[in-house]
Every structure is written in C-alpha cells, then in structure tokens.
Structure 1
Amino acid sequence: MPRVDELMYGYKHIVQEIIEAGQVKQQIKWCVQEYSLLIVTAGAGQLLWNEGQYELTQGSCFIAKPDHEYEIESRLGTVEIYRIIFAPLPSSAATYTDALPCDVLLSCHPFSRCLELVEGIFRIKDAQDMMSEMRRHILLQEFLMMLIAQGVVAGTDWHQHIRQSLRYIQEHYNLPLTVDDLADHANMERWRYARMFKQVTGKTPLDYISQLRMSRAKQLLSGTEDRMFDIASHVGLSNEYYFSKKFKKSVGVSPGQYRRQCRDHVRVFSPFMEDYLVALGIVPVVQSCHAGWGKQDYLGLNHIPELDIEGDDPDRLSVYKPDVILLESASFRWKLNEYQQIAPHITLSSHSENWRQMLVSVAEMFGKTSVAEEMIAQYEHQAAAARSTLERRVQGQTVAMLRLSSCGFTLYGGEKHGYTGPVLYGDLALEPHSLVRRLTKGARKAELTAEQLGLLDADHIFITFDNEDGQKMGLKYLSSPVWNSLRAVQNKRVYEVDFLSWMNYGLLSNRKKINDVLHFLGSV
C-alpha cells in the first residue's frame, strides 16, 4: 500500500475538447510525456489504444500513461471531454503506477461532484497567482482521491457491463434484441440491467435500440436509393409496414416523405430555427416573426415573407405551400397544432444550448451533414482567433450580459447555460463577473433586485432591450442612481447589442455575438 506522500500529483495543464459525429467519424489523438486524466462530461464514444478499447459515456474516466497513443471517436452526436495533464511529484514517482489504475475504464460517482471539480480546475486554468496554482493542485488531488476510494475498475462493476452491452447493441442493432437477451449477455438480472441501463444512458434499452435504428434509417434514406424493404431489414425491422409506422412515430413523417425532404429545393417553414437553415444554405419559404420581438433581421431574409406565429391566421401559411414544418421540441409554446393540416411536422429533440448538435440534426434532415461540419469548423476557427485577440486586450477584466425589459434587469448565465454564456465565457473565454457565477449557477438567467444590480461592478456590460416598449419603459432603470453608480456605466463601457441575434441560439447568431464583442472590446 503506497504511503500518503507517494500519492501526490502535480497539475500541468487542462484542455476541453469536443468531438462532433458526422458522415465521417470525428476523432482526436494524443500522445504526451505526462499522464492524462480523461473525463467525459457529455455524449458517447469509443476510446482506442494499442492494448484495447472502451465505450465512453457521461461520467467515464480514464488515466492514460505517458508516451502512449490514444484515440477517441464519437458515436452518435457530440462527445465532450476534459483532459487533465499531470505528473507524480518526485516523492511519489517510484510507486505511482501502483497508486492509480491506469489504462482501465473508471466511473466517477457522484458525477455532479466530478463535474464541479473538473470545471473548477478549468475556470482557473490560466491564472498565474499562487492561490490559483494551489487551488488547481488541491482540486486535482481531490478528484484522484475519489477515483482511488471508489476503486471502480473495468470489468468489475455494473457500469462496465452496461458499456459492454452498449457496444454489443451498436454492433448488433439489426438483430431481434430483447431486454432478456441483453441482460443475459451482460450477465445481469433483468431488473438490475434495465435499471442500470437507464441510469447510464437516460433511456430504456428498447428506446435506445429504437433511436439507434431510426438514426441509421435516416442516414440510409438521405444517402442512398435503397428500397424501403431493404432499409427496414438493414435496421432490424423486416416488416416494411411496421418500419414505416415506427419511423413516422419517431420522426414525424413517413420514410418516403423524409427522403423527399432530404432532396434539394424543399420548401421549409421552421419558426425561429431559420438560423440553422440559413447556415446550411437553405432558404425558408416563410420566415417567422413575433409582434413583440420582430424578426431575425441579422439573417438577411428581407425578401422572404413573414408570418407572425402568434398573431396571424394559420391559413396564411398554406398560401406558401411548405413541404415540411420543422420544429424543435420546445416550440410547443407557440401552439402550432393548427398548422398540422398544412404540411407534415418534424419535431427534433431540443439541443438549444448545444447549437452544434442541433445544426447537425437539421443537416441530417436535408442531407447536408458535410456542410454542417464545415460550418462548425469555420466557427471554431473564428472563435479561436477572436479568443486570442481578446486575451491580449481584456485579460483579467470581467464581463456581464443584461437584458432589460419593463420588468427590470435580467442577468444571463455562465459558460454552460443561456443564449450568451457559452459564447462569452466558453468560446471566447472572457471572465464572467462573480455575480454571474453566484446568481446563475446551474441556471440560464437570474432576475436582479436593485441591491444585486448595485453589486455588478463588472468592467464591461453588454445590454439588450426586450422590445421597443421595453426600451422606452427601461429608460427609468437606466436613469436610476444604482445603475449610474456602476463601474462600466461610469467608464462608458456599456454596449447595446441586437435583441434577436443575442437572445437566440444558432451558428449565425453566435457569429454575430463574436463580431459584436470584437467590435466593442477588440480595441479596448
């Protein structure tokens, strides 16, 4: 058993990496001189190296040895990981390999604590002061201590049984699989298998299999001319009628309609999802607008007719003869059921804050996955260049985003939540004001009291107004002593930005945010 002084490890570096799935498997490879602690925070994929491979899901951890090459591939959707580079301190180097399990799959429990620790390290990754350096080391020690205490090694816990089962399903989804068969294959009781499967994946085994089959069917429908019977057989549904019924229930349209919609020149109406369409080169037949908010002017669709999704008669849409109405699951608030008689509805799962995944999902609908991949790559390049510029200009200065309406000020959240945080504090790595972290932890936004507003001594404040009435009524807040006492106000570092481009998700929306930030802060 190693002594305590043989279990100390020094933090070196941390990186966050996102792998997007597409028609071509996306992957990352690395080979470093120190040890790497890999933590999967979202998605599913596969880890490969010369001695084996593992299925990765949220909460998977893996300690990689130095001087070995490792590779991660995405499966479906996005894999989000943190990779912490570290090394044993001199006193522990001799017995290090006995202290931690390397090259085996680990499961971190509770995952919420795991995420809190790794994000705590990431937030202060570039800080140079002594306290931050000590904090990084302490958080790393606590993380590694959790792994040692749990001692969860591949092949010895039920999580690994489930991961092996997921791999089996992904390789045999075209076979007639039952829960009993899968439980037997995983060497688990049926009740335990079903419960643990849902805990790991968030879905029942049969729902997971169905989703896998429908995803593959969509690829075959959009990318091949195969007959319906052949596609049904390929995904494990030999009855063509049953396949069509399952597909329509899952996707919202029949397989034939889906295939036609994947062809060029499809006429689409997709309320407040036009950002994704335009990014893919698809022009909607009608653009949505809202009496209180207006329309998305930043998309440049001035020549496209408008439809007020709350105020206009649904029959107006029939004039434009859409082939499909594309929605996301959160669109139920618009009460669009009356449009169902006009054109088939397709409802995509809401990825909102994960706009990359939503763009890929929309692209899959129209056979434009490669376009989505290229657009995402261009965005990452733009964000990286902007991040480099801003690091030189405003390093150490804090930023906040406010929305002002007739009800008062709303503060928007940090790098994981909301319309603006993932861009400002994630992609651009700007420093959020402490009030952002404290009031919006785990939430998209927070309504501010006058007292809380007075504590917002950020160096820079971005602000947008709900609508024209909100701007007029909001003026009383902007003339208040509390507002005028703020540091950013006194230093003339308050920047008004467009409402619908900033209060929106999407590639083009986020590009606009980056351009606005560079315009205001790039010359500070």
Structure 2
Amino acid sequence: MDQEQELRLVAEDGKAWDPRRSVQNSILYLEQNYASVLSVQSLADAARLPRWQYLRVFKQLTGNTPSGYLTYLRMEKAKQLLRQPEGKVWEIGLQVGYRDEQYFYRRFKQVTGIAPGEYARLNRIALQVTDWRGNRCNVPLASRRIIYDDASTLGDLLVLGISPVGANIRCYPVTEQLQETKEIGFPLELDKVRALQPDLVLLSRYGYEHAEPISEMAPIVGLNEYAPMERRMLKLGEILDLRDEAQRWLHAYSERREAIWHKLRSRIEPGETAAVLYYTDNGDLYLLHRRRGLAKILYHPLGFRMSEKHGQLRPQRGSYYISLDPKRLAVLLHADRLFVFYRSSLSEAKARNELHRLPDWDGLPAVRAGKVYYLHEQWNGEDALCSEAVLEHFADFWE
C-alpha cells in the first residue's frame, strides 16, 4: 500500500465524512509518520478538501501550518533522541526525516537556538558506562562538580580540561587548574566529599571501599588507576562524554613521542638497551618492569630495548617493580644505560654515593661507560599531564 492509499484510508475512517475530522485524522497520520516526505497537497487531497480549506482547518486545530507542525514534530522527536545516551546527530537527523545532515543542523539550531550536538551534551539524562569491576553505572552528562580521588592519575583529568571540585592534591604539583580544587584527604574523608556536593565521584581501586556511602551522595564510577595511560584516557573520555578530546590528546602525544625519537635516534646505537631503576631512602633498589612513566618513552620502537634478562623477569601480581638483590646486580642489570629515580627525601648526591657502595655496582656496563642518569622521582609520574612534561624534557635527561 502506497502513501496516498494510506492517507485516503485515514481520511475515510469508516464514519460519515466530516472536513474537521478528516483533517484531524491527517494530523494523526503526520504524528505517526513524521519522518516521511509529505506534501500539503497530498494531505489535502487525502482529506478530500481543497488546499485552501485544508490549510484553514489545520490552522484552527493546531495553530500552525502543516509544514510548521511537521517541523515541530520532528524537532520534538529529535530532542528526545538526542537525550538518549548513545544518539549520534547524523543518525538522528535521518530518523526524524532529514536526509541532509547540514540542513537538519541548521533547522534544529533555528528552532531551538542551539546546535544538536550541544543540546545532546547539555540534556542527556545519563550515559551508561561499565567500570573496571564490570558494574554498570549511570553517569550524568555535562557533570560540573567532579571529585577525583587518585593523586597518581589526576593529570589525566586535567589534560581533558576538567578541574575537579575535590581531589587528593596534597602531593600533586600546584597548577592553575587546581586553584579552586579542595583537598578531600587520603584516605578519602566522607565529610569533605559530602560538603562539596558533587554530581559525579570517580573512585580509584583503593577508594572504592567508600563506594556505598558515597553512592548516597552522588553517582560513582570506579576507575583502574593501574591500567595503561591510553586505556585510562579512553575510559575517562567515555565517562565524561569527551571521547573526541581523549582521542585527540592521545594522538598528539603519540605523534610528539615519535617525532622526538626521530630527532634522537643518532644518539643511540642499534639495539642499545636501557633499564629504569628506583632507589628508596631505605636503601632498596627496584627495577621498573612495565612500560609506565619514563619507560613508555624509553621503550618506543625507535628507542631503547629491554635487555633479554630484564624481559624475563616478572614482578609480583599487581606490582610495577621488581625488587633487586644487591648481590645479584651483575647478573640482573646488563643494560647499556641506567635511568635511576631517587626518592624526594634523598638528594642526587646521596643516592649516587649509596649506590656506589653496593656490591658490583661499579662493575655494571652502564656505570663503567658513564651512562647512568639520576632523576628525581617526580619525573616518573604516570598521568597524562606529567607524561607531557617528561616528553618535553626527555632529551635533557641523558645528554
């Protein structure tokens, strides 16, 4: 059955023909078929009325013209779809009857005063996301009062242009973005969270023990601060409806890292190896195993390699570091270069002197070659903001 036959049946609903009821039936048809291509003439013909009379009765019933009423129906449906979590602007335009995405964009903005994408950002009821535990969470879109409890990855949020109202900032470098951010304590203090009246709380794995009482204050999402930076950024982009921003940041970071290594390749020999160590104020020495912090720059395809022995070592589950036995350094550390991070409670000179007293330290290949580089632990930060800073200064670390 074609559209004209459908309209005719609507007009002839089995009752005695009445112009007013016939137009009402055509309005009902419009409301059910707003995405179809409908002309005023076809509506008038189906109602068995001359065009001028159909328009007059239509105006009396709706206060609008058929085309204006059709636009109203389409815009109302578009707004409804744009409030849904996963609605895409171009798909919604098609669903409500606009084949041209740009025309839909212009009409929507003309009617509502705001672009469809912006309307979606401001009006979506909730975005459903899955946290690292597999829990489904309803996240309010356009959240403005966000609390973030993990200091080690706080910079992930900052590079996306989000300044939290509360965070664990006591040990975080002071930045302009954190001027208005309030300290929430470590461990997290519930009274401080409650006082900030958040509309979204992002909890780390260690902060998740407070999930139940905090969920009574605001929606929560559990984050895995131990995940690689790329996965963390993509998850934040999903949660905050900033997917494009997260993707752009990751792409720019990757491009900068590759460009830096193209400039530095002449400074290393083919196959040259490196290892990242961490020295504590207790005299303990650790080998960084995973590609985090500085290591994710060092072990770029154009950069250094892990030694074969290094690659065979495995940290304990959930750890980034491997404890090194001082008596086995000659066996474990065959890297051509060593990057040594020392605790903030130590000076570089103190760390250097103490390491030279370890058995076999002076006999290590990198030490004999004068290719050991001492760095303050702040340069081994894993979050996105710190990663930008490390990339900027990377070439200076091993001149």
> Smaller-chain TM-score range?
0.5 to 0.7
Alpha-carbon distance between aligned partners in 1 of 2:302 and 2:184, rounded to the nearest angstrom: 35
Displacement, 1:324?
1.2
Q: Which residue of structure 1 lines up, in the alignment, with residue 150 of structure 2?
A: 271
Contact conserved, 1:218 with 1:364, CA < 8 A, in 2?
no
Return the index of the structure with the highest Cα Rg: 2
1:398 equivalent to 2:273? Answer: yes
One-letter code aligned to 1:344: P
Alpha-carbon distance between aligned partners in 2 of 1:298 and 1:440, rounded to the nearest angstrom: 35
Alpha-carbon distance between aligned partners in 2 of 1:299 and 1:395, rounded to the nearest angstrom: 38
Superposition TM-score, scaled by structure 2 size = 0.57
- Of the candidates 180, 184, 188, which is equivalent to residue 307 of structure 1? 184
Superposed CA offset, 1:15-48 (max 9, x none): xxxxxxxxxxxxxxxxxxxxxxxxxxxxxxxxxx
**Partner SS for 1:252:** strand
Displacement, 1:450?
1.1
Q: Which residue of structure 2 lines up, in the alignment, with residue 488 of structure 1?
A: 366
Q: Which residue of structure 2 lines up, in the alignment, with residue 252 of structure 1?
A: 137
Percent identity for Structure 1 against Structure 2: 17
**Partner SS for 2:387:** helix
Alpha-carbon distance between aligned partners in 1 of 2:240 and 2:175, rounded to the nearest angstrom: 20
Alpha-carbon distance between aligned partners in 2 of 1:472 and 1:300, rounded to the nearest angstrom: 32
Displacement, 1:469?
7.1
Displacement, 1:381?
1.1
**Partner SS for 1:431:** coil
Alpha-carbon distance between aligned partners in 1 of 2:192 and 2:343, rounded to the nearest angstrom: 27
Superposition TM-score, scaled by structure 1 size = 0.45
Alpha-carbon distance between aligned partners in 2 of 1:286 and 1:346, rounded to the nearest angstrom: 15
Q: Which residue of structure 2 lines up, in the alignment, with residue 212 of structure 1?
A: none
Alpha-carbon distance between aligned partners in 1 of 2:311 and 2:165, rounded to the nearest angstrom: 41
Q: Which residue of structure 1 lines up, in the alignment, with residue 297 of structure 2?
A: 423
Contact conserved, 1:220 with 1:231, CA < 8 A, in 2?
no
Superposed CA offset, 1:105-138 (max 9, x none): xxxxxxxxxxxxxxxxxxxxxxxxxxxxxxxxxx
Q: Which residue of structure 2 lines up, in the alignment, with residue 454 of structure 1?
A: 330
1:445 equivalent to 2:324? Answer: no
Alpha-carbon distance between aligned partners in 2 of 1:468 and 1:427, rounded to the nearest angstrom: 34
Name the CA shift for 1:466/1:334 in 2 (closer, same or farther; >3 Å): farther
Q: Which residue of structure 2 lines up, in the alignment, with residue 287 of structure 1?
A: 167
Alpha-carbon distance between aligned partners in 2 of 1:434 and 1:299, rounded to the nearest angstrom: 40
1:356 equivalent to 2:356? Answer: no
Q: Which residue of structure 2 lines up, in the alignment, with residue 435 of structure 1?
A: 309
Alpha-carbon distance between aligned partners in 2 of 1:333 and 1:501, rounded to the nearest angstrom: 27
One-letter code aligned to 2:342: F
One-letter code aligned to 2:388: R
Displacement, 1:317?
2.8
Alpha-carbon distance between aligned partners in 1 of 2:251 and 2:145, rounded to the nearest angstrom: 26
Give 5+ residue unaligned stretches, structure 2.
1-82, 90-116
- Of the candidates 347, 372, 396, which is equivalent to residue 246 of structure 2? 372
Alpha-carbon distance between aligned partners in 2 of 1:353 and 1:321, rounded to the nearest angstrom: 28
- Of the candidates 173, 189, 199, which is equivalent to residue 297 of structure 1? 173
Q: Which residue of structure 1 lines up, in the alignment, with residue 193 of structure 2?
A: 317
- Superposition map of 1:18-97 within 5 A: none
Superposed CA offset, 1:468-499 (max 9, x none): 27999967742414334434345443333343
Displacement, 1:264?
6.0
Name the CA shift for 1:512/1:391 in 2 (closer, same or farther; >3 Å): same
Displacement, 1:463?
1.9
Contact conserved, 1:386 with 1:428, CA < 8 A, in 2?
no
Name the CA shift for 1:407/1:360 in 2 (closer, same or farther; >3 Å): same
Q: Which residue of structure 1 lines up, in the alignment, with residue 19 of structure 2?
A: none
- Superposition map of 1:130-169 within 5 A: none
Superposed CA offset, 1:358-381 (max 9, x none): 212211222221111211121111
Displacement, 1:467?
4.7
Alpha-carbon distance between aligned partners in 2 of 1:472 and 1:314, rounded to the nearest angstrom: 42
Q: Which residue of structure 2 lines up, in the alignment, with residue 519 of structure 1?
A: 396
Displacement, 1:432?
2.1
Superposed CA offset, 1:37-92 (max 9, x none): xxxxxxxxxxxxxxxxxxxxxxxxxxxxxxxxxxxxxxxxxxxxxxxxxxxxxxxx
Contact conserved, 2:208 with 2:222, CA < 8 A, in 1?
no
Name the CA shift for 1:351/1:339 in 2 (closer, same or farther; >3 Å): closer
Contact conserved, 2:148 with 2:164, CA < 8 A, in 1?
yes
Name the CA shift for 1:478/1:231 in 2 (closer, same or farther; >3 Å): closer
Alpha-carbon distance between aligned partners in 2 of 1:429 and 1:475, rounded to the nearest angstrom: 26
Alpha-carbon distance between aligned partners in 2 of 1:473 and 1:516, rounded to the nearest angstrom: 23
Alpha-carbon distance between aligned partners in 1 of 2:174 and 2:330, rounded to the nearest angstrom: 33
Name the CA shift for 1:452/1:497 in 2 (closer, same or farther; >3 Å): same
Give 5+ residue unaligned stretches, structure 1.
1-215, 236-242
Contact conserved, 2:228 with 2:292, CA < 8 A, in 1?
no
Displacement, 1:410?
0.9
**Partner SS for 1:436:** helix
Corresponding residue pairs, total: 275
Name the CA shift for 1:316/1:332 in 2 (closer, same or farther; >3 Å): closer
Contact conserved, 1:296 with 1:500, CA < 8 A, in 2?
no
Displacement, 1:457?
4.1
**Partner SS for 1:518:** helix
**Partner SS for 1:367:** coil
More strand as a share of residues? 1
Q: Which residue of structure 2 lines up, in the alignment, with residue 69 of structure 1?
A: none
Alpha-carbon distance between aligned partners in 2 of 1:394 and 1:300, rounded to the nearest angstrom: 37
Alpha-carbon distance between aligned partners in 2 of 1:333 and 1:488, rounded to the nearest angstrom: 42
1:386 equivalent to 2:386? Answer: no
**Partner SS for 1:437:** helix
Superposed CA offset, 1:301-359 (max 9, x none): 5523333322x64312333332211124x3357756554444321124x3844322321
Q: Which residue of structure 1 lines up, in the alignment, with residue 37 of structure 2?
A: none
One-letter code aligned to 1:265: R
Name the CA shift for 1:469/1:383 in 2 (closer, same or farther; >3 Å): closer
One-letter code aligned to 1:426: H
Name the CA shift for 1:336/1:409 in 2 (closer, same or farther; >3 Å): farther
Contact conserved, 2:294 with 2:380, CA < 8 A, in 1?
yes
Name the CA shift for 1:514/1:481 in 2 (closer, same or farther; >3 Å): same
Alpha-carbon distance between aligned partners in 2 of 1:430 and 1:338, rounded to the nearest angstrom: 47
Alpha-carbon distance between aligned partners in 2 of 1:333 and 1:366, rounded to the nearest angstrom: 19
Displacement, 1:519?
1.5
Name the CA shift for 1:513/1:374 in 2 (closer, same or farther; >3 Å): same
Contact conserved, 1:399 with 1:461, CA < 8 A, in 2?
yes
Alpha-carbon distance between aligned partners in 1 of 2:125 and 2:142, rounded to the nearest angstrom: 18
